Chains A and B, each alone.
Chain A
Amino acid sequence: MIRLCGISAIIFVFGIFFFVFREGAPFLAKLDWSQFLFSPDWIPTSQTQPKYGVGALIVGTLSVTVLAMAIAVPFGLGAAVFVSEFCGKATKETLKIVIELLAAIPSVVWGFIGLCVLNPLIIQTFHTPIGVNMLNGAVLLALMSVPIMVSIGEDALKAVPDSYREAGLALGATRWQIVYRILLPAAKNGLLAAVLLGVGRAIGETMAVLMATGHSVRIPHSVFDPVRTLTATIAAELGETSKGSEHYQVLFLIGILLFSITFAVNLIADLAVRGVRKK
C-alpha cells in the first residue's frame, strides 16, 4: 500500500505525458514539424486557412526568459552570497523568511502588479506607447524566480566546507576574494542548479506573462515590444476551442513541447545538484 503511493509518482509522470499526448496525438500525423516549430504565423482561428506555427511563441518565451535571467541571476546569486556569507544570524533569518514570503505570492497577483503598477511605470520612464511588454514580463519573472535561486544557491554555498573559507582567511584574503576565488568555483554546480531551476520556473510561468507581456504574436525587435509565450497561449485559447478540433490538439502539442523543455532543464539541474552531493 505504502509502496503503491511511492510508485504513484512515476504513474503520474507517465500519466501526464500520456493524457496530454493523447489529446494532441491525432494532429501529429499531419503535422509539418519544421513549419510547426519555426514558422512565426500563428493564425489558429482562421476559417479558411488556419496556420499553426509556434516560432514566434518560442521566441517570445525564450526572449522573456533570457531577459528575466539577465536581471535575476546577478541579484539572485548576489543575495544568496549575502545571506550565506555576509550577514549576521538575525538578519539571515529575517531575510530567509521574507524570501519565502516573496516566493509565496501567487502568479496572478504578480500579473496584476505588472498590469497596474509596472505598466504605467514603464510608460513614464521609457516613454513607450505601451507598458505591457517584454520588459514588464521579464521584471516580474525575475522577481518570481529570484527566491528559488536564493534558497538553492544558499544551500550550495553552505555545502562548501568551512575549512576552505578558513584557509582563505589565513592567507590574508578579503571576503570579497574568498567569494570570488574560492566559493564561486567550489559551489559552481549548485549555483548552476539554482539558476536552472529559476529558468524552469520562468519558462513554465503562465498567469504573470499572460497578463503582463502584451499578448501579441510576433518576433520582438526590442525589449519594449509586446510578446506572447507558449504558456500564455494555452491559457488564453484552450477555453475557446472545442474538444478534438485541430486548434485544441495543437495547444496540447504546445503542452508537450513545454513539458519536454522543462523536463530537460530540471533533469540537468538535478544532475548538477547530485554532483554537489557526491563531493
Chain B
Amino acid sequence: MSDRQAMFAETPLGRRKRRTERVAKYFFGFMAMAMVVPLLLIVGYVVVKGWPCLSWEFLTTNPRGGGIRGGIWPALVGTIYLVGLSLCVSAPIGVLAAVYLNEYAKDNWFTRIVNLAVVNLAGVPSIVHGLFGVGAFVYAMHFGKSIISASLTLAIMTLPVIIASTKEALAAVPMSFREACWNVGATRWQTIRRIVLPNSISGILTGVILQVSRAAGETAPVMLTGVTVYKAVSDNGFFLYTLNEQCMSLSMHLYYIATQASGAPPALPYAIAVVLLAVVLLVNATAITFRVVLRSRKKW
C-alpha cells in the first residue's frame, strides 16, 4: 500500500461515522414511512371493502329504506351545493381581504391585529364554528336549519385559510414587478389587476381548491346547522334542493350509516367512504397538479 492510499484509507472512526450516518438515515426514513404506509393500507382496505357496493346507480339514485338501501345521489348533490355556495361567499371575500392585507395595508398595529385574527380564526375548532353558525345564522338571522346556514358556516370556516394562502401567493410576486408598473404611471389598483393578480393566480386558485376538499369533508359544523340524515331530492325542476331546506351530505351520510343505521349491508359505509375519499383526494390531486404545472411555467 502506498503512502497516498494509506492516507485516504478508512479509519475505524470513519467507518463508525458512516454507520451512524446510515442508521440515522434509516431511523428518520422509518419515521416518515410510518405515516405514509398506513395511509396507503387504509385507503386500499376501504376501497376493497367498499368495491361490491359501488356502481353508477349507487351514485345516481335516491336512498331507500331509511338510507340503508339505494344510492347516495342526494348526499352527493347536497355536498356540491354546500361547497359551491360556501365558496361563492368565502373566495371573493378571502381574496380581497388578502389583497388588502398584502398590497394596501401599512405595517401598523391595526394590520397586525387583523393578521392575528386571521391566524386565530384558522385555529378555531370546526365544532365551535358550528355553534357560531347555530347562534348567528340559524337563530339570529332566522335562516333556520338550512343549506344557506350550513354553507355560510362553511364559508366562515374556510375564509381564514383562503386569506392565508392568497397572501402567500401575492407575496411571492417580486416587488420589482410592482415597482416597474408604478414607474410607468399605473395606479395601485391597475398594478394589482394587471400585474399582481395574473402572476399569482395559480397560487390563489390552489389555495381555493384545497378549501373545496376541506369543506366537502367537514361534518361537525354542517351537522349542527343544516345537514340532516335523510332528505331525498325532488325529481322535477332544475334546482334539486332549495336553499331554505335541509339537505344531505356525504360526510353526514357516512357518519349516520356507520354509527346509527341498523341493518345496512356491511359494504355500504365503506362505499360511502370511498366516494367521499375519491371526491376529496381528486380535488387535492387537481390542486397539486395545477400547482406543479403552473410553477414550472413561472419565469422568475
- A interface residues with partner B (beta carbon < 8 Å): 1-3, 5-10, 12-13, 15-16, 19-20, 22-23, 74-75, 78-79, 81-83, 85-87, 95, 97-102, 104-109, 111-113, 115-117, 143, 146-147, 150, 172, 174-176, 179, 197, 200, 203-207, 210-211, 231, 234-235, 238-239, 243, 251-252, 255, 258-259, 262-263, 265-267, 269-270
Contact = CB atoms under 8 A, between A and B. Distances in A.
B117 A207 contact: no
Nearest to B228: A239
Nearest to A112: B258
B100 interface: yes
A117 B217 contact: no
B225 to A, nearest CB: 10
A261 B67 CA distance: 38
Interface in B120-137: 120-132, 134-136
A99 B31 CA distance: 13
A87 B34 CA distance: 15
Given A85-B28, A95-B32, A267-B120, 4 more contacts: A101-B281, A116-B269, A117-B42, A146-B35
Nearest to B251: A108
Contact of B31 (A15, A79, A234): A79
Interface of B: 17, 20-21, 23-25, 27-32, 34-36, 38-39, 42, 45-46, 93-94, 96-97, 99-101, 104-105, 113-114, 116-132, 134-136, 139-140, 156, 159-160, 163, 210, 213-214, 216-220, 223-224, 251-252, 254-255, 258-259, 269-270, 273, 276-277, 280-281, 284-285, 288
Given A19-B136, A109-B254, A262-B124, A9 B117 contact: yes
A115 B126 CA distance: 21
Contacts of A112: 254-255, 258, 269, 273
Contacts, number: 254
Contact of B117 (A13, A200, A269): A13
5 contacts: A3-B104, A5-B100, A98-B39, A143-B35, A239-B224
B38 A23 contact: no
Most buried by A among B124, B128, B255: B128
A197 B20 CA distance: 32
Contact of A109 (B113, B132, B273): B273
Nearest to B92: A5
B117 A10 contact: yes
A238 B224 contact: yes
Given A211-B255, A252-B135, A255-B127, A176 B21 contact: yes
A252 B120 contact: no
Contact of B28 (A7, A82, A172): A82
B119 A106 contact: no
Given A19-B140, A23-B134, A108-B254, A204 B120 contact: no
Given A23-B134, A95-B36, A235 B224 contact: yes
A43 B176 CA distance: 64
Given A6-B114, A175-B21, A206-B220, A258 B125 contact: yes
A259 to B, nearest CB: 5
Most buried by A among B126, B135, B280: B135
A79 B140 CA distance: 46
Contacts of A95: 32, 36
Contacts of B270: 116
B43 to A, nearest CB: 8
Most buried by A among B38, B120, B285: B120
Nearest to B123: A266
Contacts of A243: 139
Contacts of A22: 135, 140
B104 A231 contact: no
B29 A6 contact: no
B181 to A, nearest CB: 18
Nearest to B126: A206
A6 B126 CA distance: 22
Contacts of A10: 113-114, 117
Contacts of B105: 6
